[in-house]
Structure 1
């Protein structure tokens, strides 16, 4: 009997040790390159188990478990404060465990401010980028506005996600300032109703509503799609293959996002989470990530480690005037996000 009890104790201890040596990461595809995962494990002895997701799925998973099941998640900074206020699925960041000298100071402070709930902040920045248009200039050289997504001259060659960027982008294109309307639920609803009508009217123009980024790139690459709503790095990947294909910041402004690191409320390996955050923001690791994924990070000193081809893409797409015109996402109120979801569902269901 004593031997059985001892064996069970050893098994439990081994199980706990295994959990302590594993980081459960909930993130976007591409945010945990195998080379960096392997390097992290070699340096720390901590195994990284990656689950790929997106904003909506991350929130749903963590709501379902009340913040359990993962040690680290990477939602966009505008999707944190309202969710935290309502569901409490994250824990405050202990900034004493963050190597602040690794970060671009203004970006770190902005994310602290934008994720502040009840006197505590819930995230640190990881990477950033924009949504705009990916265009085949040989076939759609005049596609420079968000309105290209509802323009009849591109019938059958348009693609976008049925997600909030298309609503926000068209809102700006139709003369609204969607972010300024966040404080006026009625006015925001009126804007959404007009955008909904336009999207349903233009539905016959759409080749497809993309959900998988790789599938979108292939449809642009093949010529099936000539105008798409997409991220800048997708356009740059295509441009490396075909100079007619490129990211275009709409004249109304590209939509700027920051993806973060957050620690779920019931994370079991918090120390490993902080180690991964600091590891990923080291200049050489951030530089590798940026070169591989064509996405800039919040790392202050990564530039010397970034591939020159990426810098050329960035400089071509983002002269200073275009950077100044980026519309950065502020935290979105939960009620407005629910309203957007209903509009998108109606567009999807419309005949």
Structure 2
């Protein structure tokens, strides 16, 4: 059985279609193919040192909704103003899954200038040399982006991505039914999960294994888990067993954010994994759902813009990096997608409302310090080992995580 590799779809990516369904539940309870696709590559680019005039075109790879040109909603468009200002015509290649995105960027017969990569893609592109380092000195406003986010894609002193948006994975609970939980054990300990059997929800992603690993980090100290995204085979197998034991109590593994909203709104869920988006939407609809960062910590994710190794229009790409990092564009992206902007200045002046910024913890450094941000699982262990651990014990990669997720969550 092959897992349908699902994207971590932002709320706004399905907003136009899913908002109607979500509202009903609450009441009841790009532009085209890349112009350069057929051209053969002429080598691998190097990090830029200077910029010249734009080349007139820009070919990007994105997941649905991460870049809007007015085609979904004419009021939501940060592509057209960019084209008018720079004369760089944007071609969007929209993919449905992270795996499709990774495959396209690895295809040597295709030339994409940039990609809005989620963490399960970004790290692998760096390892596979499918992206090139970025010169942050050429990106106006780079130093205004959250410092912790800027460091996530640093390797050996080089910068491989410009932060775009970010979010966190919280423990959600219905305050009418569930006492305030303080640990991931509420969701993963069989004795505790059984109390709410059939009313648990989990996001449908192999990276959700990391929450089970966080639970085990405190419960099974002999496993010596340090980084929940960097697991040995023994650690990954243990996390898989936790998920398999939890499976009988899970009502739904959600792919679309609206699905989790509907489950909590309709009373079909009272406990599970979710985002600040879910808390915000449900609270505004007067639903008593809260989200907490458990004692073991919470995981998070960041999407970042990266430059392809066979970039054809580097000057236009750098202009795009500056454009998408600017406060005004970050405001539009955040409002549409329902996630936190990487530039806290999006909350300054009369841009984003203070209620939005508080709900999504924009600029909250103390909150950010509690978040363990995702990176692509790799055979090269990111965390150090104790002296008594085997030197030849590798960690597990994303393909192994995917197989474990399938075995653990599919009946």
Distance 1:29 1:144 in 2: 34
TM-aligned CA distance change 1:243 to 1:22, over 3 Å: farther
- Map of 1:310 onto structure 2: 356
- Map of 1:43 onto structure 2: 85
Higher helix share: 1
**What are the within-5 Å matches in structure 2 for residues 1-351 of structure 1?**
21-33=56-68, 34-45=76-87, 46-49=89-92, 51-63=94-106, 65-66=107-108, 68-77=110-119, 79-85=121-127, 87-101=128-142, 103-104=144-145, 106-107=147-148, 109-113=150-154, 115-116=155-156, 120-150=158-188, 151-174=193-216, 175=218, 178-180=225-227, 188-299=232-343, 301-304=345-348, 305-314=351-360, 322-329=367-374, 332-334=377-379, 335-349=396-410, 351=411
TM-aligned CA distance change 1:249 to 1:339, over 3 Å: same
Kept in 2: contact 1:158–1:205 (CA 8 A): yes
TM-score in terms of structure 2 length:
0.68
Post-superposition Cα deviations, 1:276-310, rounded to whole Å, max 9, x if no partner, equal 22111111221232234332223253221222221
CA offset at residue 242 of structure 1?
Answer: 2.7
CA offset at residue 52 of structure 1?
Answer: 4.5
- Map of 2:28 onto structure 1: none
Q: How many residues align?
A: 325
Unaligned runs of 5+ in 1: 1-14
CA offset at residue 169 of structure 1?
Answer: 1.1
**Structure 1 stretch displaced more, 331-340 or 202-211:** 331-340
Kept in 2: contact 1:143–1:227 (CA 8 A): no
The Cα RMSD (Å) is 3.2
TM-aligned CA distance change 1:283 to 1:89, over 3 Å: same
Distance 1:275 1:51 in 2: 20
CA offset at residue 321 of structure 1?
Answer: 6.0
CA offset at residue 152 of structure 1?
Answer: 0.9
TM-aligned CA distance change 1:53 to 1:25, over 3 Å: farther
CA offset at residue 91 of structure 1?
Answer: 2.5
Distance 1:70 1:218 in 2: 37
TM-score in terms of structure 1 length:
0.78
Distance 2:140 2:364 in 1: 31
Paired residue secondary structure (1:25): strand
